[in-house]
Structure 1
Amino acid sequence: MTRTAAKLALAIVAACCAQAAVAKSSDRQQTMQVQANRSDCTVTDAGPCVLTGNVHIVQGTLVIDAARADIRQGDGDIQSARLTGSPVRLKQEMDNGGVMNATAAQVDYNLQQDTVVFTGKAVVQQPGRGSIAGERIVYNMRTGQVQGGGGDEGGRVMLQFEPRNRAPAGNAPPRDGNDD
């Protein structure tokens, strides 16, 4: 793997791990496999790297599918990564055993600001924790803050919070005996 490809792999993982605080911590130590129909990458430290067509990335339990990955470099470092698709799909096992699923038309990672922005029918789901959906979801990886918006046309952000102590299915709460 060339230096540019290694940097590309790191940028894509960073772009796609919006839930990094609870994502499978061992995934970052795993070998990353990247496949695409085409690649057009500059071997200089300041050039772009673009992967197109059935982009498929696997690193440990992290699986990403996109139509395109556009990586921008500057001063020898990755500056940003943009994943696009219809939609971009991300799936990753969490340390607690749950699985995070996310979809969006576009996922943008800004390395300098440590932010990930999901846009276009964005949905991030964590079974047992909840979900957020909207036209735009912003995750700040430094602070852990998540912001959602419904878009410009009066759309709404939707949040769902799961109870922490949910009773298993089939265990109805006890009745008080007064059925009337």
Structure 2
Amino acid sequence: MKPRDSTLLPLGCFLLGLTVTPAAHAAGDDADEPIRINARSVEANEKTGTAVYRGHVVAEQGRLSIRADRVEIRARDNQTELIQAIGSPVKLRQQPDATTEEIQAEARRVDYHVLSGKLDMIGDVSLRRGDDLFTGSVLHYDLDTRSLSATGDDRSDGRVHAVIQPRKPTPPA
């Protein structure tokens, strides 16, 4: 298992994919930045293609960061298949650029299925950009089709909640 090719670069893609906004994809130059992962421990097994980071895991790449209790990366034939982050909660942040509001997301578990381009956020999901807020119990996002589905929050009325602030029109160029 080659660390840069099989495990670290997809983590950056995972973080980029969480943002669900076109401005975030402009931050693609972050993929060229080094990924820094800090944890209390790591267990990697090249034979099984797994790496498990435990204990206050912090992964950063450029303007992207993830904080979790545990991050597991599974690969086969030098291809990352799954990146799973578990926490109380998992916290993700991205500052796409200097003119775009910071994006923050939280969930108890985040699964990124690398090969299919699917992202699942599970348990007490919260996604915030500026004053816009989305909450629910489960969020599924397809990076290829840019489609999203969500189910309601179990703790309240079983519904998905969104607060979207009005935007000022952009003046013509």
TM-score for the superposition, normalised by structure 1:
0.82
Instruction: State which of 149, 152, 155 in structure 2 corresponds to 1:150.
Output: 152
Within 2, Cα distance between the matches of 1:5 and 1:40? Answer: 16
- Alignment-derived partner of residue 178 in structure 1: none
Residues 42 and 5 (structure 1), Cα distance of their counterparts in 2 relative to 1, 3 Å cut? farther
Letter in 2 for 1:62: L
- Alignment-derived partner of residue 113 in structure 1: 116
- Alignment-derived partner of residue 72 in structure 1: 74
Secondary structure of the 1:14 match is helix
Q: Percent identity?
A: 25
Asked if 1:22 is matched to 2:3, the reply is no
Find runs of 4+ consecutive structure 1 residues off by over 4 angstroms.
151-154
Which structure has the bigger radius of gyration?
1
Within 2, Cα distance between the matches of 1:118 and 1:41? Answer: 24
Asked if 1:99 is matched to 2:102, the reply is yes
Within 2, Cα distance between the matches of 1:34 and 1:15? Answer: 14
Letter in 2 for 1:40: E
Secondary structure of the 2:23 match is coil
RMSD: 2.1
Within 2, Cα distance between the matches of 1:97 and 1:19? Answer: 12
The structure where helix makes up a greater share of residues is: 2
Instruction: State which of 139, 142, 166 in structure 2 corresponds to 1:140.
Output: 142
Unmatched 5+ stretches in structure 2: none
Letter in 1 for 2:19: Q
- Alignment-derived partner of residue 160 in structure 1: 163
Query: Does the 8 Å contact 1:14/1:109 carry over to 2?
Result: no
Deviations 1:67-124 (Å, cap 9, x if unpaired)?
0011111232111110000000011012342100000000000112201111110111
Question: What is the number of equivalent residue pairs in this alignment?
Answer: 163
